[in-house]
């Protein structure tokens, strides 16, 4: 088993490297962007670490339902998260925010002390949490190997966690420190963390289903449920408050959460999906906690409750399930280690290490900044490993996690004040964070340190944390949380309302609190006046960002603002603000401010000037929105105009085509008449028989001309709406029979069979009998024309269909191709269609018939005929009175 | 949008109330309380899903 574990752990770690390579180049890939909201939500699920994976079962086994509070806190925080996350996104983009330390430092007047304080306290607070993950990896190896190979836990080359930690160092350096800007999203990182979140969820669910399936067959499970049903709900109210509060704050403020939720966020559109996907994730992940917690004591007595999942997976699902549970735990631990280490290294190097080298040196620093971050990663993981070795080995996973949660919550008052309270003061923030951390350290860390030196709680006498907590009637964790957060908030508010902020802090406060209205456009307002020689700014940027990136960003800026640096070699306040933001992304807001100040002649703005700029900025924003709205309206109007133009063009084309066809049709018989008249004129001796033949042809051509002109005039009347119907009650059945009778002679002459079938008498309706007779003449005439030449057959049928009369005229000719069935009702269709034999006729018959039927509010169309040939059908609505026909709307053409 | 978040804040207060120690005595045992919490969790997820849909529609 041990070798198998080592093998699968190695393969898994290889897999996450592969996933990172895969995702690295795909940040701007369309497919990646499409899935980004889901990837973002899964990445935020880095909240669920090895503590969740293993430790929540241990917590449930020991304390009951309160493990759920660790998920309920963040879920309730998500109800209010959207406006905060949106504001943080704007600040990240426009203020170059890459960490919580950047945020608080930038907000409180770009204060270096505050940045250092947040970075250092975050490191101290989260270090135990990273060590918790190392402990989880190490112990999961030990439990599953069951002594096959003796592992030494702690600071030993025989501890497997050491090797996993080293791999994490390599991974974090490779995929987390590629760019000097620490707020730039890293696709390899976010993609891998999302992959790991998905993997641990699947692993937990599969192992959970296998386990539950086995538990349900075990009588002890029912007994355990009975016991639980009889246990009273018991949790000190102070624990309830503190767990909910610190888990909600930690969900927002833990370095890894800030890294994934803010720094790695690629778009504001990713946020809404995370609002429900993250709680859903936590809900699924907590579904199987209770069954495992209930069965752990029965099935795996003597096992550390934190690792019931592993032991029970092995018992219920064998080695496969155990290996899957192990890998799920490994993925939970590694994702947390990677992101937390990266976030802490960014913070610590930017606010504590980088200032030591950048404030006094002028050499190229881009590589040195990245190098410092890498050393910070190594240092942090080394410290975490030492903590694990010396302190964490004896504590439960949950207790270590809670200690970190309580530490990070100390930033909450300053964080919320930074975003929503303009009066929040730098000194208030520094005092509150320091005091909160002091109490946290005293209550939750000092006792552990004293234990290392074999000094018990009695060492501090009546001031011992345990004594104070007991006096308050609550756990030491709750006492620490409540006292520290209360004092923290009181100091923050008390100091802030009694102090006046500097102009710069006030400016930053306005930008942060009104971020939604001031920063939601492309460019933030610049709240100071100043100028600098452009070459100095360029040189400064080159120093920190490197030559290539500096050239690229300056070119982009110049193109966007239409600036030629050769012609205007002075950088204005807007350019300086842009440069400061770029520097801030690399070295933090405080250092960026100092570096920029070294080359800029800055003038302080009066309060009125600041207000003027902000007012102007809001007006520009409003104007931009209005312009954008107008632009949309203009675009819509332009599209409508284009459509109308296309329609008119189409109508003009139709008219031209119609005129061309009509003149062509008129010229053919006219040419024939002229030719024959000339022949008669030129040859007075022409035999009488020939003369009569020519004269007869001329008369026929004149008839054809008359018919064509009559049809054109008819059509013009229909299309212009001048044609009136002479309505009266008609019997369509009789009309059909009469018309068919009239065509029998022609049918006989052609050798065709013409039949009319009307099964039962048709009800009368209102219509113009002459026009309907014209339709029937056109349709039956066409049918006889196109019926099979040797054994032609035309069948006319009519019947009532609902509130309509339906008439079909069917022939057994070649039929009409499906693609042409709509077109045959167009004017001169048969003339235009040159591939077919040109029949006799004007080519207007069907167009006129269609108009007549439409005027009767009916439909006409070519129907599918499976027997071959053509079947033209039309319907006429049944009207009881003439008025009904006049009031009915025209049906769309079939 | 402001209305939506005021409404959300009220839901948070209501949710905290119905899971607070004031309500624990209504449950005879831990099991029924855990089931109640899971049911509430489902309601929260569904509500947040609706909130997200509204935000996506408005943005």
Q: Is A280 on the interface with B (CB under 8 A)?
A: yes
Retrieve residue A798's tokens: 């009519």
Q: Is A269 on the interface with B (CB under 8 A)?
A: yes
User: A694 or A843, which is more confident?
Assistant: A694
Q: What is the pLDDT of residues A304-326, one digit of tens each?
A: 888 899 899 989 988 889 999 99
Confidence class of residue A79 from pLDDT cuts 50, 70 and 90? very high
CA distance A49 to chain B (A): 20
C-alpha A466 chain-centroid distance: 50
User: What pTM did the predictor assign?
Assistant: 0.67
DSSP-derived letter for residue A598 is T
pLDDT at A149 over 70: no
Q: Which residues of A432-452 are buried (b: 16+ CB within 10 A; e: fewer)?
A: bbebbbebbbbbbbbbbebee
Helices A160-176/A366-390 angle, 10° precision: 160
The tokens 């003027």 sit on which residue? A612
Contact check, Cβ <8 Å, A80/B12: yes
**Looking at beta carbons, which residues of chain B come within 8 Å of A68?**
34, 37-38, 41
Q: What single string gives the DSSP state of each residue in A149-204? A: S-PPPSSSTT-HHHHHHHHHHHHHHHHHSSSS-TTS--HHHHHHHHHHHHHHHHHH
Helices A476-498/A412-420 angle, 10° precision: 40
Q: What is the ipTM of this complex?
A: 0.96
Report yes or no: B41 and A76 within 8 Å, Cβ to Cβ.
no
pLDDT of residue A502: 83
pLDDT of residue A891: 43
Mutate to test the interface with A, among B14, B15, B31 (most CBs of A within 10 A): B31
**Looking at beta carbons, which residues of chain B come within 8 Å of A76?**
12, 15-16, 44
CA pair distance A488, A409, nearest whole angstrom = 10
Q: What is the pLDDT of residues A615-638, one digit of tens each?
A: 666 666 677 777 878 888 888 999
Q: Residues of B near A (CB-CB distance < 8 A)?
A: 1, 5, 8-9, 11-12, 15-16, 19-21, 24, 27-34, 37-38, 41-42, 44-46, 48-49, 51-53, 55-56, 59
CA distance B14 to chain A (A): 11
**DSSP 3-state of A496:** helix
Q: What is the pLDDT of residues A533-574, one digit of tens each?
A: 888 888 888 877 788 888 888 888 888 888 877 777 788 777
**Looking at beta carbons, which residues of chain A come within 8 Å of B21?**
235, 237, 240
Over chain A, what is the mean pLDDT? 83
Retrieve residue A420's tokens: 């929503």
Confidence class of residue A607 from pLDDT cuts 50, 70 and 90? low
Confidence class of residue A252 from pLDDT cuts 50, 70 and 90? very high
Contact check, Cβ <8 Å, A272/B9: no
Contact check, Cβ <8 Å, A231/B24: no
Percent pLDDT > 70 in chain A is 88
Count of CB atoms within 10 A of residue A774's CB?
17
User: A548 or A360, which is more confident?
Assistant: A548
Q: What is the pLDDT of residues A453-463, one digit of tens each?
A: 777 666 777 78
CA distance A708 to chain B (A): 60
pLDDT of residue A823: 78
Q: What is the pLDDT of residues A104-144, one digit of tens each?
A: 999 998 888 999 999 999 999 998 888 888 888 888 888 88
CA distance A260 to chain B (A): 19
Contact check, Cβ <8 Å, A65/B30: yes
pLDDT of residue A276: 95
CA distance A588 to chain B (A): 31
CA pair distance A885, A430, nearest whole angstrom = 86
Retrieve residue A860's tokens: 């006409």
A283-322 residues touching B, CB cutoff 8 A: 283, 286-287, 290
User: Torsions phi, psi of A525, nearest 5?
Assistant: -70, 145
């Amino acid at each position: 088993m041990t070798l198998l574990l080592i093998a699968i752990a190695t393969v898994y770690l290889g897999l996450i490297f592969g996933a990172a390579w895969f995702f690295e180049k795909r940040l701007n890939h369309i497919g990646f962007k499409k899935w980004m909201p889901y990837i973002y939500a899964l990445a935020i699920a880095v909240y669920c670490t090895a503590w969740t994976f293993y430790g929540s079962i241990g917590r449930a086994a020991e304390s009951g339902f309160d493990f759920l509070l660790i998920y309920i806190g963040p879920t309730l925080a998500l109800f209010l998260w959207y406006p905060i996350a949106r504001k943080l996104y704007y600040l990240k983009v426009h203020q170059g925010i890459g960490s919580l330390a950047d945020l608080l430092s930038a907000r409180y007047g770009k204060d270096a002390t505050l940045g250092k304080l947040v970075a250092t306290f975050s490191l101290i607070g989260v270090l135990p949490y990273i060590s918790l993950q190392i402990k989880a990896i190490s112990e999961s190896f030990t439990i599953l190997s069951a002594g096959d190979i003796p592992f030494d836990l702690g600071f030993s080359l025989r501890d497997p966690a050491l090797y996993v930690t080293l791999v994490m160092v390599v991974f974090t350096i490779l995929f987390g420190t590629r760019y000097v800007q620490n707020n730039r999203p890293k696709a390899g990182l976010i993609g891998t963390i999302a992959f790991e979140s998905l993997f641990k969820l699947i692993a937990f669910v599969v192992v959970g289903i296998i386990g539950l399936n086995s538990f349900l067959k075990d009588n002890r499970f029912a007994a355990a449920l009975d016991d639980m049903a009889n246990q009273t709900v018991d949790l000190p109210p102070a624990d309830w408050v503190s767990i909910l509060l610190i888990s909600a704050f930690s969900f927002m403020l833990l370095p890894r959460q800030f890294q994934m939720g803010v720094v790695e966020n690629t778009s504001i559109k990713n946020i809404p999906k995370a609002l429900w996907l993250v709680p859903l994730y936590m809900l699924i992940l907590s579904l199987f906690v209770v069954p495992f917690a209930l069965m752990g004591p029965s099935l795996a007595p003597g096992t550390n409750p934190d690792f019931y999942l592993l032991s029970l997976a092995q018992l219920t699902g064998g080695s496969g399930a155990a290996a899957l549970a192990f890998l799920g735990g490994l993925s939970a631990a590694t994702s947390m280690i990677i992101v937390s280490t990266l976030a802490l290294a960014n913070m610590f190097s930017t606010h504590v290490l980088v200032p030591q080298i950048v404030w006094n040196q002028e050499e190229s620093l881009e590589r040195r900044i990245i190098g410092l971050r890498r050393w910070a990663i190594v240092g942090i993981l080394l410290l975490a490993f030492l903590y694990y070795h010396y302190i964490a080995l004896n504590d439960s996973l949950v207790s270590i996690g809670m200690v970190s949660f309580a530490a990070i919550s100390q930033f909450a008052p300053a964080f919320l004040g930074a975003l929503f309270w303009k009066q929040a003061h730098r000194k208030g923030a520094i005092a509150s964070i320091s005091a909160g951390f002091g109490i946290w350290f005293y209550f939750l860390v000092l006792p552990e340190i004293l234990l290392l030196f074999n000094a018990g709680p009695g060492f501090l006498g009546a001031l011992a944390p345990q004594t104070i907590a007991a006096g308050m009637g609550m756990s030491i964790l709750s006492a620490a949380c409540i006292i520290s957060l209360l004092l923290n908030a009181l100091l923050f508010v008390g100091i802030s309302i009694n102090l006046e902020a500097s102009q710069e802090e006030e400016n930053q406060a306005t930008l942060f609190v009104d971020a939604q209205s001031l920063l939601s456009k492309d460019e933030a307002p610049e709240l100071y006046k100043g100028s600098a020689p452009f070459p100095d700014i360029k040189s400064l940027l080159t120093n920190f960002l490197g030559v290539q990136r500096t050239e690229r960003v300056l070119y982009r800026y110049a193109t966007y603002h239409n600036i030629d640096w050769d012609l205007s070699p002075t950088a204005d306040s807007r350019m300086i603000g842009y440069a400061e933001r770029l520097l801030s992304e690399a070295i933090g807001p405080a250092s960026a401010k100092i570096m920029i100040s070294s080359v800029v002649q800055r003038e302080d703005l009066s309060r009125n000037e600041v207000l003027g700029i902000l007012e102007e900025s809001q007006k520009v924003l409003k104007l931009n929105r209005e312009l954008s709205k107008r632009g949309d309206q203009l675009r819509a109007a332009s599209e409508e105009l284009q459509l109308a133009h296309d329609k008119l063009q189409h109508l003009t084309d139709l008219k031209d085509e119609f005129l061309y066809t009509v003149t062509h049709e008129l010229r053919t018989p006219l040419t024939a008449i002229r030719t024959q008249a000339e022949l008669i004129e030129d040859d007075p001796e022409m035999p009488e028989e020939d003369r009569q033949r020519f004269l007869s042809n001329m008369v026929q051509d004149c008839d054809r001309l008359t018919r064509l002109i009559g049809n054109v005039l008819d059509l013009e009347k229909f299309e212009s709406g001048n044609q009136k119907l002479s309505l009266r009650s008609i019997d369509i059945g009789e009309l059909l029979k009469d018309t068919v009778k009239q065509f029998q002679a022609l049918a006989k002459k052609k050798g065709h069979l013409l039949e009319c079938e009307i099964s039962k008498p048709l009800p009368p309706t209102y219509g113009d009998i002459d026009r309907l007779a014209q339709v029937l003449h056109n349709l039956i005439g066409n049918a006889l024309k196109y019926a099979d030449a040797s054994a032609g057959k035309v069948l006319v049928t009519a019947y009532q269909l609902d509130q309509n009369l339906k008439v079909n005229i069917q022939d057994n000719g070649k039929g009409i191709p499906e693609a042409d069935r709509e077109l045959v009702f167009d004017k001169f269709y048969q003339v235009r269609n040159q591939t077919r034999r040109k029949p006799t006729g004007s080519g207007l018959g069907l167009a006129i018939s269609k108009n007549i039927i439409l005027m009767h509010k009916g439909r006409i169309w070519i129907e599918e005929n499976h027997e071959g040939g053509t079947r033209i059908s039309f319907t006429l609505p049944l009207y009881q009175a003439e008025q009904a026909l006049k009031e009915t709307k025209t049906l769309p053409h079939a | 949008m402001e209305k939506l978040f005021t409404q959300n804040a009220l839901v948070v207060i209501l949710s905290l109330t119905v899971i607070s120690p004031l309500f624990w005595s209504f449950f005879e045992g831990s099991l029924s309380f855990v089931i109640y919490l899971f049911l509430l969790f489902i309601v929260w997820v569904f509500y947040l899903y609706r909130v997200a849909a509204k935000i996506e529609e408005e943005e």
